[in-house]
C-alpha cells in the first residue's frame, strides 16, 4: 500500500522516494540530531530503516511519512526528515507512537508540531486509533515541547526504562517520559 499523502499549510507528508535516502542518511549520521539515541546510523542502517517504514504502511495503512517543505516562502525546502505514527509494542501492547526526526537545518521553524498534528488527525480520524503516545528521555526538552504543543499530556505513571537501551553503555538514555492523548481528549481539544 502506498502511503497516503497529507498536506498542511507548509508541508507535504508523503511516501518515501529513493532520492530521500541520501539526505535521510545524512541527518541520521548527525550527532546533534541523534543526541538522544544510543548511536548515529550508518548508511546501511538508515536505508534499512526506510525499508521498515515502507513495510509499516503496507501492514497498517499508517507509518512514518517523509516530510517535504513545499512552501516557497520558507528558508528550507524539499525533504527534511520524517513525522508519523509507529507501533510501540516494545513499550506497551498495542500502542502507537507519534514521532519525528528532522534535519537540524529545519529545527525551530514549527515543522514538527505542524506535521505531528496532522499525523494525530490521521491517526484518530482515519486509522480510528483510541490513543497515541510519544516518549523520549527526560532531557530532550525540544521533543517534549512538541508533545505539549500538539496536545499530548504527561503520564508520569507510565514513565519507563526503555527495554532496547543498554543501561551499562548508555545509562543516561534508559529513563523515558511518556506523553499521550486519547481520541476523546483530542476531540475535546479540537472543539475548544
Write out pLDDT tens, residues 5-30.
999 999 999 999 999 999 999 999 99
Identify the CA nearest to 82 among candidates 28, 123, 147, 128. 28
Q: Residues 14, 7: contact at Cβ < 8 Å?
A: no
Phi, psi angle pair for 180, to nearest 5°: -155, 165
- Is the pLDDT score of 192 beyond 90? no
Q: Residues 159, 177: contact at Cβ < 8 Å?
A: yes
| DSSP strands (E only) in 3-148 | 6-7, 11-14, 64-69, 78-87, 96-102, 131-136
Residue count of the chain: 192
- Delimit the domains of the chain by residue range: 6-191
> Would you state the CATH architecture of domain 6-191?
3-Layer(aba) Sandwich (3.40)
- Is the pLDDT score of 81 beyond 80? yes
Identify the CA nearest to 126 among candidates 62, 188, 171, 67. 62
Q: What is the pLDDT of residues 129-155, one digit of tens each?
A: 999 999 999 999 999 999 999 999 999
Query: What's residue 1's pLDDT?
Result: 65
Phi, psi angle pair for 52, to nearest 5°: -65, -40
The whole-chain average pLDDT of the chain stands at: 95
Amino acid at each position: 500500500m502506498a502511503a497516503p499523502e497529507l498536506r498542511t499549510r507548509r508541508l507535504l507528508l508523503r511516501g518515501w522516494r529513493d532520492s530521500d535516502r541520501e539526505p535521510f542518511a545524512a541527518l541520521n549520521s548527525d550527532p546533534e540530531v541523534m543526541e538522544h539515541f544510543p548511536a548515529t546510523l550508518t548508511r546501511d542502517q538508515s536505508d534499512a530503516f526506510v525499508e521498515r517504514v515502507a513495510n509499516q504502511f503496507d501492514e497498517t495503512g499508517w507509518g512514518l511519512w517523509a516530510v517535504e517543505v513545499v512552501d516557497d516562502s520558507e528558508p528550507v525546502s524539499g525533504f527534511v526528515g520524517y513525522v508519523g505514527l509507529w507501533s510501540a509494542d516494545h513499550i506497551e501492547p498495542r500502542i502507537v507512537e507519534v514521532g519525528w526526526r528532522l534535519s537540524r537545518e529545519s529545527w525551530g521553524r514549527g515543522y514538527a508540531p505542524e506535521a505531528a498534528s496532522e499525523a494525530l488527525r490521521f491517526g484518530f480520524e482515519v486509522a480510528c486509533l483510541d490513543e497515541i503516545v510519544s516518549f523520549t528521555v527526560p532531557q530532550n526538552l525540544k521533543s517534549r515541547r512538541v508533545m505539549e504543543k500538539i496536545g499530548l499530556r504527561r503520564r508520569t505513571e507510565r514513565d519507563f526504562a526503555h527495554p532496547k537501551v543498554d543501561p551499562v553503555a548508555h545509562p543516561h538514555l534508559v529513563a523515558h517520559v511518556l506523553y499521550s492523548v486519547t481520541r476523546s481528549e483530542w476531540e475535546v481539544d479540537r472543539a475548544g
